[in-house]
Chain A
Amino acid sequence: MIAILFSILLWAIATALLLVAWRRRDGTAREALSRGWREFVWLLPRLTLGIIGAGFIARLLPEEAVSAYLGAESGWIGLMIATAAGALTPGGPVVGFSIAGAALKAGAGLPQVIGYVTAWSLLSFNRILVWELPIMARWFIGLRLMVSVPLPLIAGAIAMWVT
């Protein structure tokens, strides 16, 4: 039910924005439709591979090992393992989210998966090498990493506390 409401809300926002763009009558709406379509076509094969791949990874992950190392009972040690794993996961969002989604299905605890996703988002060495180092100043990357290191552990700790 909530999924349907969310879809309706999204399309309402898209329609409203499209109307604003269309009223400009300068080709903005057409340009947006074409850019949006290109993005969608670019994403489609990646999402398909990622989602179906995640289904298979979930079947292949050794459930006992995942729940032993990353299960809800693994506590702080599991959270630290998950944080390190998140920072070290190579590849883009398909890889990171596929692994995390599969781990959750295979019995990993919610705090550990939240720690993993947060660490992957903020500290992924892959994104730092590929995107940040070529674009951003080194001092900025260093400062950003320093203030971000505690955040996956804080996120996992709050998740442990609320669940």
Chain B
Amino acid sequence: MSGVVVENVTLLLGILPKVAAGCLIGALITLLVPREMVVKLVGSESGLRGLIIATIAGILVPGGPFTVFPITVAFLAIGADRGAAIAFVTAWHVVGLNRAIIWEMPFFGHEFVFTRMAISVAFPLLAGVLARLVPWPRASKESGT
């Protein structure tokens, strides 16, 4: 019983410096990167380039659902393409660095996380392209709310 505690407290102490660095980087990026710049790059005419930029932004964006979903709504409200918005959310979900560093590495270690990310890295683009191809009614009253 106490073996389990000792083993996992050691694990916890090992990852705390990384969690602290992740928190600090997240706070700094939120304050330093102007949101308008990101928004400008993923407009409705952005094509594959927009999907790639949205994916990279999703990988880098810090914070939890409380930051990511409102940013996505803002993207959509000012005319971001639905494929780019979905690529952004999907990238944050499956290959987001913030979540991987703070939550996933402590539980699984590097090898699992790198393997899972290597497998998933194309998913945001795939989801974004699919979202553009599928005929899907965008209720105009509902959009962006």
Residues of A within 8 A of B73 (CB): 135-137
Residues of B within 8 A of A131 (CB): 65-66, 69
Per-residue 0/1 for A85-119: is the Cβ within 8 Å of any B Cβ (1 yes, 0 no)?
A: 00000000110011011001000001001100110
Q: Known contacts A10-B22, A110-B112, A144-B86; is A162 also within 8 Å of B134 by CB?
A: no
Across the two chains, which residue of chain B brings its CB closest to A102? Answer: B107
B30–A35 CB distance below 8 A = yes
Across the two chains, which residue of chain A brings its CB closest to B20? Answer: A40
B115–A114 CB distance below 8 A = yes
A118–B29 CB distance below 8 A = no
A47–B19 CB distance below 8 A = yes
B17–A56 CB distance below 8 A = no
Residues of A within 8 A of B123 (CB): 151, 154-155
A122 close to B (CB within 8 Å): yes
Per-residue 0/1 for B62-93: is the Cβ within 8 Å of any A Cβ (1 yes, 0 no)?
A: 00011001101100100000100110011001
Interface set, chain A 1-26, CB cutoff 8 A to B: 2-3, 6-7, 10-11, 13-14, 17-18, 20-21
A54 close to B (CB within 8 Å): yes
B19–A43 CB distance below 8 A = yes
**What CA separation (Å) do A162 and B23 show in the bound complex?**
33
B45 close to A (CB within 8 Å): no
Rounded to whole Å, the gap between the CB of A117 and the closest CB of chain B is 6
**What CA separation (Å) do A61 and B70 show in the bound complex?**
38
Chain A facing B: main interface SS: helix
Q: A40-B23, A151-B94, A151-B126 are in contact. List 16 more A-B contacts (CB 8 A).
A: A39-B27, A47-B12, A47-B19, A48-B12, A51-B8, A97-B106, A97-B108, A101-B107, A110-B112, A114-B119, A118-B116, A139-B142, A140-B82, A142-B136, A143-B86, A162-B115
Interchain Cβ contacts under 8 Å between A and B, 9 examples? A3-B14, A14-B28, A17-B28, A36-B20, A93-B99, A100-B107, A131-B66, A137-B76, A147-B134
Task: Report B's interface with A, CB cutoff 8 A.
Answer: 4-5, 7-9, 11-12, 14-32, 65-66, 69-70, 72-73, 76, 82, 85-86, 89-90, 93-94, 99, 101-104, 106-108, 110, 112, 115-116, 119-120, 123, 126-127, 130-131, 134, 136-139, 142-145
Task: Report A's interface with B, CB cutoff 8 A.
Answer: 2-3, 6-7, 10-11, 13-14, 17-18, 20-21, 28, 31-33, 35-37, 39-40, 43-44, 47-48, 50-52, 54-56, 59, 93-94, 97-98, 100-101, 104, 110, 113-114, 117-118, 121-122, 127, 130-132, 135-140, 142-144, 146-148, 151, 154-155, 158-159, 162
